[in-house]
Every structure is written in C-alpha cells, then in structure tokens.
Amino acid sequence: MKVVPVTTAIIDDVVAVFIKAYNQPPWNYGWTADRAKQYLLEYMNCGNFTGFVLYDDNDVAGAVFGHTKTWWTGRQLMIDELFISSEKQRKGYGKMLLDYCDRYAADNQLSSIVLMTNKYMPSFGFYDKNGYTTAGQYVFMFR
C-alpha cells in the first residue's frame, strides 16, 4: 500500500474508482466519466486543495479529496470526498485513508478534521466507528 498526492496525471484512474464507488448500492448515483472528472477537478482547482490516492500494488483503491481552511480554533482539514473502489470496500482501505489524514493533520499542525456524511448510509457507521463525532448543532440546508 502507498498513498500519494492526487495529480491530474492520475485523475482518470481516480475517476474510474469514484464511479465504481458511487454508481452502485447503496448510493446508486448515475455519474458519467466526464461529469465525475469535472466534479473532482473542481475540487483540485480550489485554493488549499488537499487530496490523496491510496494504491494497492499498481491499482487505485480509493482517494480522499479535501481542503484546508482557517477556523477560530485553528486550521482544519475539511474532507469533501472519501471513496473506495467497490471491490476494496470493507477491507480496511477507508481506515487507511483516514489514518493517513490523521497523520497529515498532525504533521501540518491542523487542529481538526471535519466532514459531512449522510446519516442514513453505511458511511455514517464507518465514520462513527472510526472516532468521528456527530455535531448535532449543525444542519445541512439546501434550496
């Protein structure tokens, strides 16, 4: 296993894993390769982008896309996307990426790691099991 920064040179391999992760149960999204690539490139083109790819041998197993930001408690790592290829799920790859994010945050003096997930999907249990806490005072709103 190895973790490397996300680059545009490997984005097509990352896109393929993104689609494998999200275009099946429980999410059942309908990502096309073009839309998924544009979506991930938008993250990469934002200021303070931070992203990592987890390799299993020469295959992309998963990735995390995020950014750092300033908060009153200090700098934070905000995880925007974390995904693992469907055939690699439930094998510890997601935990490896979270552990890497923990080390990255510590090495870069980031005060916390923040993310948003759907409480009705399996990812909620995954994050809960890995020590993330629900912030009950926050509400996700859209229009």
pLDDT of amino acid 135? 74
pLDDT of amino acid 18? 97
pLDDT of amino acid 114? 84
Under the phi-then-psi rule, with left for phi > 0, alpha for psi from -120 to 50, and beta for the rest, what region is 18? alpha
What superfamily in CATH does domain 2-129 come from?
Gcn5-related N-acetyltransferase (GNAT) (3.40.630.30)
**H helices, E strands: number in the chain:** 4, 5
Tell me the pTM.
0.87
Spell 94-124 as b/e; 16+ CB within 10 A means b.
bebbbeebeebbeeeebeebbbebeeeeebe
pLDDT of amino acid 115? 73
Q: What is the mean pLDDT of each run of 10 residues along the chain (143 residues)?
A: 95 97 92 98 95 95 96 93 91 92 96 75 63 68 68
Distance CA(117)–CA(119), nearest Å, equals 6
pLDDT of amino acid 15? 98
